[in-house]
Structure 1
Amino acid sequence: MRASTGSETGAAGWATGDGRDPSRRRIIFLDVDGTILEHGAHVAPSTAPAVRAARAAGHLVYLSTGRSASDIHPRVAEIGFDGAVTNSGALVVSGDEVVVDRPLSPEATDRMLTAMRSRGIRYFLQTRDGVYASDDMAELMRDYAAALEARAAAGEEVRPEDSLVGLAERTFPRADDADLSRIDKAVFVSDHEEGLEELRADLGDEFLIVPGSMPLPGGSNGEINERDTTKGSAIELLLEHLGLDAADAVAIGDSWNDIEMFQVCGVAVAMGNAHPELKELADFVTTDVLDDGIANAFQRLGLI
C-alpha cells in the first residue's frame, strides 16, 4: 500500500467505500492502454456507460496516457472526456484549453537521439500532433505485420495484444521530418534485453526511462521523457489550474508510467492486469481491462 498524498482519512475511507460523500466532485484520471483499451482495439462494453454516468453525476474524467494526443484510438475518443493528459504529461488539455505544453528542449532531444542512434535502437518520436518513426522502426513494424499476416493465414490464433493497436499496419511519417524543437517523448525498441539499462546509463538523471506497456517486439522497449515530465507532475499542474484538491483525485492505471500519478492522486486503483509492482502501490485492485475493470472501480468508489 502506498503512502497517501491527500487527506489520509478521507482517501482511505473513500477507497474502501466507507464514509463517501457522493455530493463531492471527484476528478478521475484514466490510463488508456491496458486500462480502457486492451492492447489491440477492444474496450469493455461497460466502460463508456460508466464514464458517461460519472460525468453526468458531476465528476470530471480525464485521460492520462503515454500516447500522443493525435494517437488516441477512436473507440476511446468517442467515449467523451473532460480533457486529457497525453505524451506522459508533456501536454495537458482541459476542454479546448491547453493547460500544459512542455516539449523537450532541442538540446535534450539531440542528446536522446544521439544515445538511441549510437546504440542502434529503433524509436518513435511523439509530438502533440503526431508520431514519427525512425526508418528501422518502420521496417520492424512492416516485418511484424507480415509475420502476423502469415500466422493468421496459417490458421494460428493472433491474440488481441499481438496487433499492437494497429501499429504494425500503420504508416508513420519519418522521424527525419519531425520538428525537433517540438518533440515530447520517445518510445524505443532495442534488440537487447539490456537496452533500457544502456539508455539509462547513457542519459543519466536528466531523463526518466521506464519499461514500455506496449508488447512491442524486440529484446526490450520503453519510453523516454524528461525527468520532471510525468503524468503525476502534469496532474498537479492541472489540479492547480482547476482549483481542485489532490485528495479528490483518482488515478486508474496498469503500467510503469502510471506510478507518478498514483503518488499524486488521493486514491490509486490498479487494474487486475496491472504489473504486480503497481498493484503494491495501489489502494485497491479492480478487475481486468475487459472484465469491467473501470466500471467496477467506479462502482466501488461510489462514482456511479
Structure 2
Amino acid sequence: MIKAVFFDVDGTLLSFNTHQIPLSTENAIRTLQAKGIKIIVSTGRSINSLNHIKYLDFDGFITFNGGYCVTKDGDVLFRKPIPAEDIQSLLNYAKQANPVSFSLMSEQEISIFNVTPDIQQMYDSLNLPVPMQREYEDFDTSTVLQTNIFIQPEHEDHFMKTVMPNSIASRWTPLFADVNPLGQSKKVGIDIFLDYFGITINETMSFGDGGNDITMLQHTHIGVAMGNANPEVKDIADYITDDVDHDGIWNALKHFDVI
C-alpha cells in the first residue's frame, strides 16, 4: 500500500509549456490527500522558488536535491551545505578569467555570477526572474546549499575533479549541472521524510523526468518516469507514463490503483 508519493517539480508537476500544474495533476494530488497519502515535493529548486505551488498543501519539501528538507510548517529536518573549500575554489577559478557562469544558492538568496544568455534562457524556461548579479568578493562560502554550473556535459567530469572535488554534479538539462555535496541526492531527502513520518520504502512511489531524479526513482518502491523524461531516466524507471501535459501523473496513479 502506497503511503507517500514524491514529486519532482519542473517537467513533472509543472509543465514547461504552460508553467502551471495541470488540472488532472491537481485532482490526483487532492485524491491522494483525501486517502491520507503523504505528498512531498522533491526538487533541485530552492524552497523560496516554490511559493506558486504551495496552494496544494504539500506535506514536505525536499529542495536543493536533498540538501534542505523542510516540513509544510517550516520545520527544517535536514540541511547540508557544499564544503566551503569547493565554493572558494569555484570563486578562485572564475576570478582567474575562466569563462564560467554559475549561481550560488542558500536558504535565503540566490546569487548569480556572470549572467549570460544561457542563464537568461534557464530562468525563462522556469518562469522565474533572474536574480541580481553578485561580485566575487565578500561572499560567505559556508552557506551554499547548491550551485548551478553552466558548463557543457563533456567538460563536466574534468571540472568537478579539478575545481569541486568534494561535490557531485547531476543534470536535468544540457544547459547546466546541479552541484551538491558529495553523496547528496534526492534519495537522502526521501529517507529523511520516511523516518519523520514513520513510513517504509516499500510504501513509496515517485515521479520524475531529469537526471537528478534517477536516485529517487531507483530508491522508491515504484519509480515513474514522465513521458517527457530524459532517455536515461526512462531506462531505470519501473514504469513510463504519459508526459506532463497529457495527464501523466493521473494516469500512472490510476494504473497502479493508488487513486
TM-score range, shorter chain: 0.7 to 0.9
The partner residue of 2:159 within 174, 199, 210 is 199
Q: Do structure 1's residue 48 and structure 2's residue 3 form an aligned pair? A: no
Contact in 2 for aligned 1:57/1:303 (Cα 8 Å): no
CA change 1:200–1:242 in 2 (3 A) is same
The partner residue of 2:13 within 36, 56, 74 is 36
Where 2:111 maps in the other structure, the secondary structure is strand
Matches within 5 A, 1:272-287: 272-287=227-242
Q: For 1:235 and 1:175, how far apart are their aligned partners in 2?
A: 35
Which residue in 2 is equivalent to 1:289?
A: 244
CA change 1:240–1:162 in 2 (3 A) is closer
> Tell me, which stretches of 5 or more residues in structure 2 are unaligned?
none
TM-score by length of 2: 0.88
The partner residue of 1:140 within 117, 121, 126 is 117
Q: For 1:173 and 1:282, how far apart are their aligned partners in 2?
A: 38
Q: Which ranges of 4 or more aligned residues in structure 1 deviate by more than 6 Å? A: none
Q: Do structure 1's residue 98 and structure 2's residue 73 form an aligned pair? A: no
Superposition deviation, residue 112 in structure 1:
3.7
Q: For 2:180 and 2:123, how far apart are their aligned partners in 1?
A: 25
Structure whose CA Rg is larger? 1
Superposition deviation, residue 113 in structure 1:
3.4
Superposition deviation, residue 116 in structure 1:
5.2
Q: Do structure 1's residue 263 and structure 2's residue 218 form an aligned pair? A: yes
Worse overlay, 109-118 or 231-240 = 109-118
Q: For 1:116 and 1:39, how far apart are their aligned partners in 2?
A: 31
Superposition deviation, residue 249 in structure 1:
1.1
Q: Do structure 1's residue 71 and structure 2's residue 49 form an aligned pair? A: yes
Which residue in 1 is equivalent to 2:169?
A: 209
Deviations 1:68-122 (A, max 9, x none): 0001261x22222111100111111123221111112322322343345554210
Q: Using CA pairs under 8 Å that are at least 6 residues apart, name the structure with larger relative contact order, 1 or 2.
A: 1
Where 2:108 maps in the other structure, the secondary structure is coil
CA change 1:141–1:206 in 2 (3 A) is closer
Contact in 1 for aligned 2:172/2:211 (Cα 8 Å): yes
CA change 1:44–1:99 in 2 (3 A) is same
Q: Do structure 1's residue 126 and structure 2's residue 87 form an aligned pair? A: no
Which residue in 1 is equivalent to 2:207?
A: 252
Where 1:38 maps in the other structure, the secondary structure is coil
Contact in 2 for aligned 1:126/1:183 (Cα 8 Å): yes
Query: Match for 2:117: what amino acid?
Result: L
Identity of aligned residues (%): 27
Which residue in 2 is equivalent to 1:182?
A: 143
CA change 1:175–1:25 in 2 (3 A) is farther
Q: For 1:81 and 1:100, how far apart are their aligned partners in 2?
A: 17
The partner residue of 1:59 within 37, 42, 51 is 37
Q: Do structure 1's residue 228 and structure 2's residue 205 form an aligned pair? A: no
Superposition deviation, residue 42 in structure 1:
3.0
